[in-house]
Chain A
Amino acid sequence: MSSGLYGFLFAMWSLIIIGGGIMVVLLGPFTIQQFGDFHWILASGIKVIIALVLVVIWILILSKLKNYIFKKELKF
């Protein structure tokens, strides 16, 4: 059991590092210039949507990982 939990912790950590990289690469350089004073609000809004999608993907991957790592233990 313990090794499964440590493995899950390590997987979560790896996903955070990778997810962070995707955030920086995708969201970092993202700008919109065409909408005058509102460009930063629009850009921020789109960044929010992308970030939320990434979080949802992160949770889905974690759920799959959880089911895979704790396959035996989750059959309570």
Chain B
Amino acid sequence: MIELIFPAIISCIIAFFVVYLTTPPLIKILVKNDYTVKDMNKKENVMVARPGGISIILGIVVSEIVLYGFFQLNEILAIIITTTAAFVIGYVDDRKVMGGWFKPVTLAIAALPIILLGAYDSDLAFPLFGDVQIPLLYLGLIIFMIPITGNTINSIDVLNGVATGFMVIASFTLSICLFILQNYEIAIVSLPLGFVSLAFYKYHKIPSKIFPGDSGALTFGAMYGAIAIIGGVEIIAAIALLPAVINSFLFLSSVKRVVEHRQIKNPTMLTSDFKLKTTDEKTAPITLVRLILAGGPLTEKQVGFAIFKLAIFSGILAIITAFMMGVSL
């Protein structure tokens, strides 16, 4: 355990400072080249740099390569390849508008390195009841998990700072659960995700200076999904992600098809004092933000904090679940 502390500290410092130091010059380059998008929820015509996925993937890859230098685990290679592939997929979508099928299909392909490198265990662990061995079903789970986590994080990237703030809470929760389950090596491998998210949150929080874009959101989601599979904590990871899962569930159950967010009507609108309120449009989809706003108009910051509180609540449920893994009925 002691020998793991040094690589853990080094990789966390590298993950945090690579993103912290590379994001400001990235913002300048993106603004200079007119890679900006309008911030829809602001009074003025505010243009924000996008995509920030470039600094996010840099932080993840550099810190994980350093960890690979210490541990030489196939699991780390699988995380690096899958996450990088997800970044490339997101970057293509940032640059060129692709169809609704593009991200789910290509992210499923991005999950293949986890299978090819054998970086998984086909036992699915449940709290209280123990493990179930599902070799064939588990391969399907791997293929589905990366598109689901990638798109789930992407779907919650709707307001300033929400996706990264949510990711900070969910990824640190996952790391804590891995430590509770005494899966120390994968816990350490998972830590850079939390520190990368934390560093990027500084620039993404309200008022945003940069948006992660699809490249950033898919990078976060794919790495989170890969850690869940490699660490054997799929159920715990799903629980920590529940507010974002609810968002996707509400969206899909109201739209009833896989569709790009940009293709549907905005479920929220601005009041005259620039608060967010739910739209009167009957055909607009139901989302987590829309449900939060059902009680009345709120500022963007208040909605963000409401989502963070939900993330902390599901994080606590995930930690309780991790403790329950050690108990059997």
Contact = CB atoms under 8 A, between A and B. Distances in A.
Interface of A: 1-2, 4-6, 8-10, 12-13, 16-17, 20-21, 23-25, 27-28, 40-41, 44-45, 47-48, 51, 62-63, 66, 70, 72-74, 76
B111 interface: no
Interface stretch (B13-21, B126-134, B157-165): B126-134
A20 B235 contact: yes
A28 B141 CA distance: 17
B284 interface: yes
Contacts of A24: 126, 129-132
Which secondary structure dominates where chain B touches chain A?
A: helix
Interface of B: 124, 126-137, 140, 235, 238-239, 242-243, 245-246, 249-250, 253, 278-280, 282, 284, 286, 288, 290-292, 294-295, 306, 309-310, 313-314, 317, 321, 324
17 contacts: A1-B294, A1-B295, A5-B292, A9-B243, A13-B321, A16-B239, A17-B324, A21-B128, A21-B129, A24-B129, A24-B131, A28-B130, A41-B136, A44-B137, A48-B137, A51-B137, A62-B249
B253 A73 contact: no
Contacts of A63: 253
B291 A6 contact: no
Which secondary structure dominates where chain A touches chain B?
A: helix
A73 B128 contact: no
Contacts of B282: 76
A9 B291 CA distance: 13
Contact of A17 (B127, B135, B286, B291): B127
B128 A8 contact: no
A63 to B, nearest CB: 6
Contact of A12 (B245, B279, B306): B245
Contacts, number: 100
Contact of A5 (B127, B238, B291): B291
Contacts of A72: 294
A39 B289 CA distance: 48
B134 A13 contact: no
B291 A23 contact: no
A48 B101 CA distance: 24
Contacts of B246: 5, 8-9, 12
Contacts of B132: 23-24, 27-28
Contacts of B134: 27, 44, 47-48, 51
Contacts of B135: 40, 44
A41 B134 CA distance: 10
Nearest to B135: A44
A15 to B, nearest CB: 11
Nearest to B136: A44
Nearest 3 A/B pairs, CB to CB: A20-B126, A44-B136, A73-B294
